[in-house]
Amino acid sequence: MFCSFAFVNALEVVLLPDELIPEGARAIGSKETEQSLSQLALETVWRVNMGNKTVSPQNDTLWRFWDSDYSYLRYEGVATYVSKPEAVNYSASPTKYIAPSSVYGSATMLDTKKESRMIANLTWNFDVEHGFKYLVRFHFCDIMSKPADSVIFKVFINDLSVSDSLDLKNLTSDVLGRPYFMDVIMRASDNPTMNVSVGPYSKDGAYLYPITILNGLEIMKISNSRSSLDVSLSNSSKMKLGVIVGLAVGVFLAIVLAIVLFLFYRRRGRARAIHSKTEVVMVNAEEGKDNNGTAMFSASKIGYRFPLAAIQEATDNFSENLLIGVGGFGKVYKGVLRDSTKVAVKRGAPQSKQGLAEFRTEIEMLSQFRHRHLVSLIGYCDEKDELIIIYEYMENGSLKNHLYSSDLRCLSWRKRLEICVGAAKGLHYLHTSSEKTIIHRDVKSSNILLDENLMVKVADFGLSKTGPEIDQTHVSTAVKGSFGYLDPEYLTRQQLTEKSDVYSFGVVMFEVLCGRPVIDPSLPREEVSLVEWAMKRHQNGQLEEIVDPRLAGQVKPDTLRKFGDVAAKCLAGRGVDRPTVGDVLWNLEFVLQLEGNDGRSDHASPVNNLETSTVSTAELSMGSVGDIAGVSMSKVFAQMVREDMR
């Protein structure tokens, strides 16, 4: 006799304030302008705090969890994160029950005064179940503007307007820091993704108000006409008919299939056994172990498909203590394989906007090439809905960390030049090593990594794309990349070429020279954009004023001038006016030769000894006399002869 038990361990009854759930809300995207919610059930599917900050239940009056908006933001490069909880003023409705001060006191913001090179919307992507309506609650709080400023911007859901001109100052009676929330009901849609956007208000092509802001967002699923929140029950009548038909057909097919399966069952079983045995033999042969060996990994470390259990073991089950980075694809962990090999493990996040496409692209790209200045693929895993890529571990992290972190030793000027040369070599290989150019599409300082000897390797090929055909000039594709590094020609025309990588590399060169971020909202307006600031100083012959102060006395005037000229040419507005990566590489090697042996980096690697880099004959013929002033030509040509004899 079959028995079952039903039990409950605890029960909590929570009294919710009346103000928390609205009686109704304005509907968008449908004929009805107002919809009642009094008889409907709601299920919270997303509750997000802007400002790249997570709010724990302990910091919410009603014990709610607010997830950080970072992983949902489409182009995080255009966003500015701000936090000022002390500015929140609960002098009137709403109260802390609607959202705590930790939500209203942090925000993701777009400042059109500072983002002068590009005006874009802030957009967040959320997965939803089609066929349902959703209550969307926007939380706003002006914690940044001055009393005299107006705060007017646009709000959208998908392609539908929620507000063409939301006047936040007027809605809060000109009280700075007063919270405001807005509820709307989004129509049922077949689209499994909901895009929520806020953007600057414009009139006659001019952006009239500087600040666009969002503090928090809640998305709640509304029960359907059958009073259900279960998508599987929304089509129950169709399901019943399908079950009846399916059973009838299934009985017939089951008889036929049973006969077929019986005939092939043993054959398939034998095939699996043989295949499994072959795999064990192959792996053990590569390992140099017998069939009783316990090693799980190929000694070649090239493109091996790892079992999930092995990766969990290597990363201590993805311990946060081993976390070394976070990106759009997911988190990156340090791992150690059974053979003591250190690896970097990039684990795709379930909500990643890049996901499977980037996973496939990166594996395909990294499997095609091997180069000393490109990060090597060790393996991957696509087991149990996991998308994981395993790379060689880079002990010294990214160039970005070394430029900005106060905890790391400052890179000397010569070492910075060597890093630029190494990165240029990696990009040059991508652009020239195959029949079609490989365009990296996300060149930036955080994707230029350094090993234990500070050897340079370019990383992250998830956005990479093959270049145009021989009879074409560009590839037409959607804009992807990192804000601040994006080629303006690619951004406006969506026409991608290898010169887009050159532009991004020019930005990195100025990062290396100046030792500051590409976009820094904390600086005066004319200095916010590194590209605008550096290009203006270059045009005025004032490059020495923007050199990283930590490099004082290290940069020779000739070296500085030549380096600045190369970077400026990379940042030309039109791709046809920019040099190739090969030209950039030759010029950088010449700059390194100009620098000479003085101030050689203490971290120089014998493997990556760029001190003997060649000076191309093309550079010598193109350069002016001033480019080689103070350089012994006999030493230059002697160096070239030594390289040719190798």
Angle between helices 413-432 and 498-514 (to 10 degrees): 170
Helix (H) or strand (E) holding 220: strand 216-222
User: Helix or strand or coil: residue 487?
Assistant: coil
Please name which of 70, 71, 72 lies closest in space to residue 106, comparing C-alpha atoms: 70
Residues 6+ apart with CB under 8 A from 627: 558, 562, 590, 594
- C-alpha 97/C-alpha 489 separation (Å) is 48
- C-alpha 216/C-alpha 200 separation (Å) is 18
Please name which of 441, 571, 573 lies closest in space to residue 496, comparing C-alpha atoms: 441
End-to-end CA distance of the chain, in Å?
85
Amino acid at 173: S
User: Helix or strand or coil: residue 363?
Assistant: helix
**Helical residues (DSSP H) of 304-448, grouped into ranges:** 308-314, 355-368, 399-404, 413-432
User: Helix or strand or coil: residue 520?
Assistant: coil
User: Helix or strand or coil: residue 429?
Assistant: helix
CA separation (Å) from 432 to 13, 108, 438, 467, 580? 67, 41, 8, 11, 11
DSSP 8-class letter at 15: P
Residue 442 bears catalytic tag? yes
Please name which of 335, 375, 340, 359 lies closest in space to residue 458, comparing C-alpha atoms: 375
Task: List strands edge to edge, sheet with 179-186.
Answer: 34-36, 24-28, 179-186, 134-141, 216-222, 42-49, 67-68
Tokens 């290898």 belong to which residue? 498
**Dihedral sign of CA atoms 41, 43, 49, 50 in order:** negative
CA angle 388, 391, 407 (to 5 degrees): 110
Whether the Cβ atoms of residue 342 and residue 324 lie closer than 8 Å to each other: no
Helix (H) or strand (E) holding 49: strand 42-49
Q: Which of 69, 111, 142, 442 is catalytic?
A: 442
- C-alpha 358/C-alpha 464 separation (Å) is 9
Whether the Cβ atoms of residue 45 and residue 221 lie closer than 8 Å to each other: yes
Q: Chain centroid to CA 243: how far? A: 44
Please name which of 348, 456, 443 lies closest in space to residue 402, comparing C-alpha atoms: 456
**Dihedral sign of CA atoms 491, 497, 501, 506 in order:** negative
**410-424 b/e (C-beta count within 10 Å ≥ 16 → b):** ebbbbbbbbbbbbbb
Whether the Cβ atoms of residue 383 and residue 308 lie closer than 8 Å to each other: yes
Tokens of 563: 């380096």
Helix (H) or strand (E) holding 217: strand 216-222
- C-alpha 599/C-alpha 124 separation (Å) is 47
Catalytic amino acids?
A: 442
